[in-house]
């Protein structure tokens, strides 16, 4: 290289190696052969900055969620025997268990996957990898257990349902003797030292009511392998189906599956489970697990289902507590079911052809000193008149005189519309709810291990045509505010028919409430 080229290169600041540039003034370079590794000073003082053994201050790691207090040595060292490390367990404070989603929402932008999902990989495998990374990124922030259940348990149940995890079959060998009763060994005081030192068996997760307490009977190793092969094939098909239509799978999980597995009886799961799935689906879209437009749109629709479930799943429990309301209870007392036939009533009192006179004791009436003495029987006790409380005495009396009990229907109906009170509906004190038929909301299957679905087939005592028409239900305004259009309620509906056909339309009230389901109910 000529001198002119060296000057031109020096003027532009470009460097070529070799030769290496000279170090700045005051800086010395130590050859690697002479370098000696030195660690961090162990005792720097309580309020002093951290320094190394040369007295140089250490540089902080620039990671947003890095916690020095939670860090520990992850490799073997010569100091392990002198100062053994006790691994700390990370648990969330129980006081924050009801608002765990707020903590997740704050930290969510930081939970990113620093990798690229290859579109050439099968979508099922990509979703499986994403589910593991989603779970691992939250391993220290899962909410604690509440009422023997937790959000972490629901995550495992969702993975089993969607095929993200393998569900081990439940079986029992019939060709081997039953294991001995280990009830006495369950008490730690009764266990031998050898038994106490043995590691506990790994808990195998499965559906709570997968086989309803009846494991499959097998009599050979080949039959056991066949069960595992069938479970493996079922998982592959289930996962592929979920990836193809995640919205449908989400609707099934957040409706019929939660009902069948009795998850709906835990209030913290009714709103917590939709929140959990919403976080998972946002995680999938944010990290571009699926770049195919069709697959991405499927999870976008699944988010819409989760958002609806967040509103309607808690509403199912609220409806179960709100119905029947006071008006319906009052109507049930004012318009009782028809009495049985007198002949049937007499047969109830007969036992082998003899009247049950011997079963009646005079002492059961309680002590009495005659008509002039005090009696312990509450002859004047009266039940609350809800109709008079809601409508007033005059309107309640007119209702009982102007209407009579009509058709009784037991079915599942969908809330079609909710209208505020009007002057014509008993002095404007009751709201009107239009209920549309919802037959076969869950098709009846004789082989279903859940049993016959309640109200899957309407049962009518009276005019059978009522089961195919809309009905108008009268409820209190406070109860009407809790109703959500589209949701389903299953119960016993009783018709109020005017005694005079010129008085107007008929109305219905709730005699019994047995089930409420969300609008997206799918099986």
C-alpha dist (Å) from residue 458 to 140, 298, 413, 507, 517 = 49, 35, 10, 19, 16
pLDDT surpassing 80 at residue 249: yes
CA distance linking residue 435 with residue 18, whole number of Å: 86
Residue 501 domain flag: yes
**Are 158 and 268 in a shared domain?**
yes
Categorize the per-residue pLDDT at 490 as very low, low, confident or very high, splitting at 50, 70 and 90: very high
The residue segments making up the domain with residue 116 are 96-176+203-321
Last residue within a domain, chosen from 266, 290, 321: 321
**Are 305 and 400 in a shared domain?**
no
**Are 280 and 330 in a shared domain?**
no
Condensed to tens digits (0 to 9), the pLDDT of residues 437-457 reads 998 888 776 666 554 567 788
Percent of the chain at pLDDT above 90? Answer: 30
Own/partner contacts of 239-246, CB < 8 Å, gap of 24 or more, are: 239/124, 239/127, 239/128, 239/162, 239/163, 239/164, 240/124, 240/163, 241/163, 242/127, 242/162, 242/163, 243/123, 243/124, 243/127, 243/295, 243/298, 244/298, 245/298, 246/281, 246/298, 246/299, 246/301, 246/302
**Are 134 and 219 in a shared domain?**
yes
Angle at alpha carbon of residue 474, lines to 472 and 480, rounded to 5°: 105
Of 313 and 44, which is predicted with more confidence?
A: 313
Last residue within a domain, chosen from 298, 321, 344: 321
**Are 503 and 469 in a shared domain?**
yes
**Are 498 and 481 in a shared domain?**
yes
Whether the pTM exceeds 0.75: the reply is: no
**Are 330 and 459 in a shared domain?**
yes
Condensed to tens digits (0 to 9), the pLDDT of residues 184-206 reads 444 444 445 454 445 555 555 66
Condensed to tens digits (0 to 9), the pLDDT of residues 455-489 reads 788 889 988 889 899 999 999 999 999 999 999 99
Condensed to tens digits (0 to 9), the pLDDT of residues 426-436 reads 667 899 999 99
pLDDT surpassing 60 at residue 290: yes
Find out whether 278 and 306 touch, Cβ atoms under 8 Å.
Answer: yes
Residue range 227-248: average pLDDT? 91
pLDDT surpassing 50 at residue 99: yes
**Are 330 and 313 in a shared domain?**
no
Residue 79 domain flag: no
**Are 429 and 293 in a shared domain?**
no
How many domains is the chain partitioned into structurally? 2
CA distance linking residue 246 with residue 302, whole number of Å: 6
Residue 373 domain flag: no
Condensed to tens digits (0 to 9), the pLDDT of residues 1-58 reads 556 655 655 555 555 666 777 888 888 888 888 877 777 765 665 566 777 777 777 7
Range name among 299-308, 362-371, 403-412 with the lowest pLDDT average: 362-371
Residue 428 domain flag: yes
**Are 392 and 314 in a shared domain?**
no
Condensed to tens digits (0 to 9), the pLDDT of residues 113-165 reads 766 777 888 899 999 999 998 988 887 788 877 666 788 889 999 999 999 98
**Are 260 and 291 in a shared domain?**
yes
Residue 87 domain flag: no
Last residue within a domain, chosen from 274, 295, 321: 321
Residue 134 domain flag: yes
Can you give the pLDDT at residue 250? 96
**Are 314 and 400 in a shared domain?**
no
Categorize the per-residue pLDDT at 353 as very low, low, confident or very high, splitting at 50, 70 and 90: very low
Categorize the per-residue pLDDT at 499 as very low, low, confident or very high, splitting at 50, 70 and 90: confident
């Amino acid at each position: 290289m000529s001198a002119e080229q060296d000057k031109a290169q020096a003027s532009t600041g470009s460097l070529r190696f070799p030769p290496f540039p000279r170090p700045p003034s005051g800086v010395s370079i130590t050859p690697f052969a002479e370098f000696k590794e030195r660690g961090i000073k162990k005792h720097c003082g309580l309020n002093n900055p951290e320094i190394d053994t040369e007295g140089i201050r250490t540089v902080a790691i620039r990671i947003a969620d890095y916690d020095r207090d939670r860090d520990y040595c992850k490799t073997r060292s010569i100091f392990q025997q002198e100062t053994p490390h006790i691994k700390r367990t990370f648990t969330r404070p129980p006081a924050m268990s009801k608002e765990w989603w707020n903590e997740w929402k704050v930290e969510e932008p930081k939970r990113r996957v620093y990798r690229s999902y290859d579109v050439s990989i099968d979508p099922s495998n990509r979703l499986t990898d994403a589910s593991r990374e989603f779970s691992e990124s939250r391993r220290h922030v899962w909410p604690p257990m509440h009422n023997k259940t937790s959000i972490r348990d629901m995550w495992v149940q969702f993975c089993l349902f969607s095929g993200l995890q393998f569900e081990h079959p439940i079986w029992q060998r019939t060709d081997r003797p039953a294991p001995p009763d280990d009830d006495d060994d369950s008490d730690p005081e009764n266990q031998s030292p050898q038994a106490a030192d043995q590691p506990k068996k790994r808990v195998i997760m499965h559906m709570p009511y997968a086989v309803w307490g009846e494991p499959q009977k097998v009599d050979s190793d080949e039959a056991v392998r066949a069960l595992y092969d069938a479970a493996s094939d079922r998982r592959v098909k289930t996962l592929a189906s979920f990836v193809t239509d995640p919205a449908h799978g989400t609707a099934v999980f957040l409706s019929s599956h939660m009902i069948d597995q009795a998850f709906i009886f835990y209030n913290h799961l009714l709103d917590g489970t939709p929140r959990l799935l919403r976080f998972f689906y946002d995680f999938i879209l944010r990290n571009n697990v699926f770049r195919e437009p069709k697959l991405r749109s499927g999870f976008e629709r699944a988010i819409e289902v989760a958002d609806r479930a967040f509103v309607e799943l808690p509403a199912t429990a609220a409806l179960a507590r709100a119905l029947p309301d006071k008006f319906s209870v009052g109507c049930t007392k004012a318009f009782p079911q028809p009495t049985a036939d007198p002949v049937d009533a007499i047969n109830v009192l007969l036992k082998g052809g003899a009247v049950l006179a011997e079963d009646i004791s005079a002492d059961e009436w309680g002590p009495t000193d005659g008509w002039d003495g005090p009696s312990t029987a509450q002859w004047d006790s009266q039940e609350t008149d809800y109709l008079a409380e809601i409508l007033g005495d005059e309107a309640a009396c007119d209702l009982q005189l102007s209407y009579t009990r009509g058709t009784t229907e037991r079915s599942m109906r969908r809330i079609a519309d909710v209208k505020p009170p009007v002057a014509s509906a008993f002095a404007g004190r009751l709201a009107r709810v239009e209920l549309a038929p919802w037959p076969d909301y869950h098709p009846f299957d004789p082989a279903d291990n859940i049993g016959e679905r309640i109200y899957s087939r309407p049962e009518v005592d009276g005019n059978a045509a009522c089961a195919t028409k809309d009905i108008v239900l009268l409820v209190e305004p406070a109860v009407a505010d809790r109703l959500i259009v589209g949701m389903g309620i299953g119960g016993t509906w009783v018709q109020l028919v005017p005694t005079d056909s010129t008085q107007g339309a008929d109305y219905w009230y709730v005699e019994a409430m047995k089930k409420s389901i969300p609008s997206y109910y799918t099986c």
